[in-house]
Structure formats: structure tokens, C-alpha cells
Amino acid sequence: MEVYATTHKGLERITAEEIQELGGKIEKYGNGRVYFKCDERLIKKLNYHARTCERIIVLLKSAKITQLEDIYKEVKDIDFSFIRPSESFAVRSKRVGVHDFNSMDIARVAGDAIIKSYQSSRKKRLKVNLDSPDNIIRVELIHDLLLVGVDTTGDKGLHRRGYRVYQHPAPLNPTIAAALLRISNWRPEKILVDPMCGSGTILVEAALMGSNIPPGRIREGGKLTFNHKLKIIGIEKFRKHVKGCQETLSRLGIDFIKVIQGDAEHLDKYVQEADLIVTNPPYGIRVGRKSIIKKLYHNLLRTAKNILTENGSITLLTPQEKILKSTATKLDYKWTETPIVYGNLPVKIFKLTQEGRTWP
Ligand code: SAM
């Protein structure tokens, strides 16, 4: 079967690696999509195990189109007879780029085409159920590329893990947290610190990864068995976030992660040693915040030097590329960068390592 997974634009290579590890045969990737071959068993496995994918979609058609009528023609050409006559369907549409129609137009036209196609093959009018359909047909237009497929994940994307009991004002998407951990090359035996942990998304994703608990297992509910040997520490400035984070951890049964109320600018006051720092710092996008961010990033990177072990690294994402790079240069870090699109915001994942450090 031809299948594709959706992810954040820029994370395709990371997601492709994950899918390959789980058994998919990657064909290509780009534009937040990873295309691969797999069977039904693997589709189930991916929906249960994948940490960096948002949706798994069986591809029915991909075509280049220029206008709305082309969508009708292309969709009408697809054989939808795999849908049982008693079942319902809904179209979920998405549009990226500049077009003279919107995504609701796409859904309407594609819905009409599906009904027409089904009537000619099965001589029956398919039922539409927008709230709780038996079949979700994804119709995505990415610039001029039309993708039509069956969504095997459902309306609730795989990023909705369901473990948060506290709503942070700026929580990190868990699929990005998992991608950060993959980029950082974290392994269960390494000491991990998130010095601005907020509600703890990176901490929880690490606890799950390090305990081999798939995200699907959390959605099922019930008791989880964690690897209590993991060395993971969270630091957060505000008490209410510390409390919220601790609530989420204790509900999951995680008692081995220490969450300290503290200031990331003085990291070495709370932590003596870290192999990896992985974090999602504030972006300081609001006016007047830049100088605060400059100071924060500078002091974080400076004090990190006192606790990072040999070959230690810092992985973080920020849209503040200039500030980060000038700070990192001043403090003799070298880095690799991965540009991604997060929401509508272009941000970069930086992995910083220490330049020219001599070790005793
Ligand atoms: N990844 C987190 C989550 O999923 O909930 C969200 C992190 S949020 C973008 C940044 C966090 O950094 C906020 O919770 C903020 O309170 C915290 N923060 C800001 N300045 C800090 C500092 N100097 N020391 C520690 N934490 C700080």
C-alpha cells in the first residue's frame, strides 16, 4: 500500500527515520509528508508506536492540479467501493499555498465527487456524517499537489497523547518534543535536563521513550511501567508550572523525575552534571522582550558549560536565530540547525556542542 505520514515541515527526515525503524519502506519526503510503502499491520503499528507522526494516511491519489474543477475530476476518478454501503464518510480538507478558493470549497467539491463516484460504482448514495464518520477522506492541496487518502488515524491526531492534566499557556507539541529528543541523540543512560520545562512535555516524552512505552499505550489508559533508572531533571521558574508539571508526572506514575523551581540562568545552582540539555525556551516575540531573551539565552548557554559532560550538547528550538547564533559564537559553541515550521512560525532546532573544549 502507498501510505504517507504527516509531520511538521522540516522534520520529515526525522520522521522518515522513525518510520523506517518501525518497518516502513521510505520512498520520498517533503512538505511535511513522508511517503512510504507498508501493509495494514504496519499501519496499525505506526498509529500505536510512532512518536513524531501526526497522521497516517493511505494514499488513494496524488495529482498536479490548477483549479477547483480539477479536484472534482480527480476525486471522482477514484474507486471508493472499499467503503461499505452502510458506512458514512466525511471529507477533511487542508490547503497550503495561494489559490482562489478555500479549504471549505475543496471539501464541498471533493464530497460531491465521492458521492458521484460511489453512485456509479455501487449504485448507492453514500451517507455524509461530519461529526462522527466511519471513514475520513483527507483531501490536501499543497500548492499544486493534490493528495487524496483515507485517514487511518482519525480526527484526533497522534500528537494528542492525552497525558496533560495541566494546561500550560505555551505547551510544546509532543511530536516536536520527541523529535528534539531524537535530534539530541538522547539515550536512557544519559542525564537529561530541561531547564525551562513548563508543563514537562519533553520530560514526559523522554520518560516514555526511555521506558519503551508507545504513545498508543497511554491512550489505552491503565498502569504504565516506567524505567526507574532514568536520570531526568526539569527546572522551571514559575511555581504554578512546576506544580502543573508535577501533577502530570504523578498522574502518569512517574516518581523518578525531579522538577525544581529555579532559574535557568543559574543552571549550575541546581544541577551538577548533564549529558544533554533539551529545551523549548521562551521565544520573546512580543515587543520589548528581545533584551530579556538575549540575557536568558546568554546566561543559559554560559552556565550550561559548567555542567555539561564531555560530548554533552544542548538541543533547543527558537525563532530567535540571530540572538542564539551570536550568543553561541561568543561562548565558543558550534552548532547544527534544522529549520521547521511550527504552527505558522518558522523556527529552528539548534544542536549546540562545545568548540575546542579541552578535557582533563
Ligand atoms: N515545553 C514546555 C511545555 O511543553 O509545557 C513549554 C516551555 S515554555 C515555551 C518556556 C518556559 O520557560 C515557560 O514555562 C517559562 O515559565 C519558563 N522560563 C522562562 N524563563 C525561565 C528561566 N529563567 N528559568 C526557568 N524557566 C524559565
| pLDDT tens sequence across 8-50 | 999 999 999 999 999 999 999 999 999 999 999 999 999 999 9
Counting residues of the chain whose pLDDT is more than 70, the rounded percentage is 98
- Give the model's confidence band at 356: pLDDT under 50 very low, under 70 low, under 90 confident, else very high: low
Of 248, 214, 271, residue with least CA distance to 22: 214
Query: Is residue 180 domain-shared with residue 234, that is, in the same domain?
Result: yes
Whether 95 maps to a domain, the answer reads yes
Whether 162 maps to a domain, the answer reads no
320-333 pLDDT tens trace: 999 999 999 999 99
Whether 274 maps to a domain, the answer reads yes
**Looking at 87, 120, 151, which one is the last position of a domain?**
151
Residue 68 in this model has a pLDDT that exceeds 90: yes
Whether 163 maps to a domain, the answer reads no
Residue 360 in this model has a pLDDT that exceeds 50: no
Buried/exposed code over 72-88 (b: 16+ C-beta within 10 A; e: otherwise): bebbbebebeebeeeeb
Residue 149 in this model has a pLDDT that exceeds 70: yes
The tally of domains found in the chain comes to: 2
Q: Is the CB of 266 under 6 A from ligand 1?
A: no
Q: Is the CB of 234 under 6 A from ligand 1?
A: no
Query: Is residue 237 domain-shared with residue 342, that is, in the same domain?
Result: yes
Grid cell, residue 179, equals 523529535
CA distance to 23, 63, 110, 116, 299, per residue, from 73 (Å) = 34, 11, 9, 11, 58
| Rounded average pLDDT over 88-112 | 97
Query: From CA 51, how far away is CA 263, in angstroms rounded?
Result: 30
Query: Is residue 116 domain-shared with residue 180, that is, in the same domain?
Result: no
Residue with cell 536512557: 188
Q: Is the CB of 248 under 6 A from ligand 1?
A: no
Q: How far, in Å, is the centroid of ligand 1 from the Cα of 195?
A: 8
Report helix, strand or coil for 3: strand
Grid cell, residue 187, equals 539515550
State the chain's mean pLDDT as an integer.
96
Whether 164 maps to a domain, the answer reads no
Query: Is residue 16 domain-shared with residue 130, that is, in the same domain?
Result: yes
- Classify residue 117 by its DSSP letter: H
pLDDT of residue 288: 56
Query: From CA 284, how far away is CA 266, in angstroms rounded?
Result: 19
Which helix or strand (DSSP H or E) is residue 298 part of? helix 290-304
DSSP codes, 13-50: HHHHHHHHHHT-EEEEEETTEEEEE--HHHHHHHHHH-
Q: Is the CB of 82 under 6 A from ligand 1?
A: no
Residue 199 in this model has a pLDDT that exceeds 70: yes
Q: Is the CB of 264 under 6 A from ligand 1?
A: yes
Whether 233 maps to a domain, the answer reads yes
Residue 203 in this model has a pLDDT that exceeds 50: yes
Counting residues of the chain whose pLDDT is more than 90, the rounded percentage is 94
Strand partners, 233: 193, 258
Residues 136 and 89 sit within 8 Å (Cβ to Cβ): yes
Give the amino acid at 56: I
Residue 358 in this model has a pLDDT that exceeds 60: no
Buried/exposed code over 238-248 (b: 16+ C-beta within 10 A; e: otherwise): eeebbebbbeb
pLDDT of residue 305: 97
- pTM greater than 0.80: yes
pLDDT of residue 287: 59
Cα torsion through 47, 48, 49, 51, rounded to 10: 60
Q: Is the CB of 198 under 6 A from ligand 1?
A: yes
Query: Is residue 112 domain-shared with residue 179, that is, in the same domain?
Result: no
130-143 pLDDT tens trace: 999 999 999 999 99
Whether 180 maps to a domain, the answer reads yes
208-249 pLDDT tens trace: 999 999 999 999 988 999 999 999 999 999 999 999 999 999
Whole-angstrom Cα Rg for the chain: 23
| Complex ipTM | 0.99
Query: Is residue 145 domain-shared with residue 272, that is, in the same domain?
Result: no
**Residue minimizing CA distance to atom 2 of ligand 1:** 198
- Give the model's confidence band at 58: pLDDT under 50 very low, under 70 low, under 90 confident, else very high: very high
Whether 158 maps to a domain, the answer reads no
Structural domain of residue 342, as residue ranges?
174-354
Q: How far, in Å, is the centroid of ligand 1 from the Cα of 182?
A: 21
Query: Is residue 204 domain-shared with residue 113, that is, in the same domain?
Result: no
69-82 pLDDT tens trace: 999 999 999 999 99
**What angle, rounded to 10 degrees, do the helices at 68-76 and 103-122 form?**
30
Query: Is residue 113 domain-shared with residue 209, that is, in the same domain?
Result: no
Query: Is residue 190 domain-shared with residue 256, that is, in the same domain?
Result: yes
Residue 344 in this model has a pLDDT that exceeds 90: no
281-304 pLDDT tens trace: 999 876 558 899 999 999 999 999
Nearest atom, ligand 1, residue 300 CA = 23
Buried/exposed code over 33-70 (b: 16+ C-beta within 10 A; e: otherwise): bbbbebeeebbebbbebbbbbbbbbbbbebeebeebeb
pLDDT of residue 289: 80
Nearest atom, ligand 1, residue 168 CA = 5
Grid cell, residue 345, equals 512560525
CATH of the domain at 221: 3.40.50.150
Query: Is residue 105 domain-shared with residue 17, that is, in the same domain?
Result: yes
Q: Is the CB of 199 under 6 A from ligand 1?
A: yes
Give the amino acid at 73: K
pLDDT of residue 139: 98
Q: Is the CB of 2 under 6 A from ligand 1?
A: no
Rounded to the nearest 5 percent, the helix, strand and coil shares of the chain are 35, 30, 40
CATH of the domain at 20: 3.30.2130.30
Query: Is residue 133 domain-shared with residue 185, that is, in the same domain?
Result: no
Query: Is residue 10 domain-shared with residue 131, that is, in the same domain?
Result: yes
CA angle at 188 for the pair 177 and 44, rounded to the nearest 5°: 60
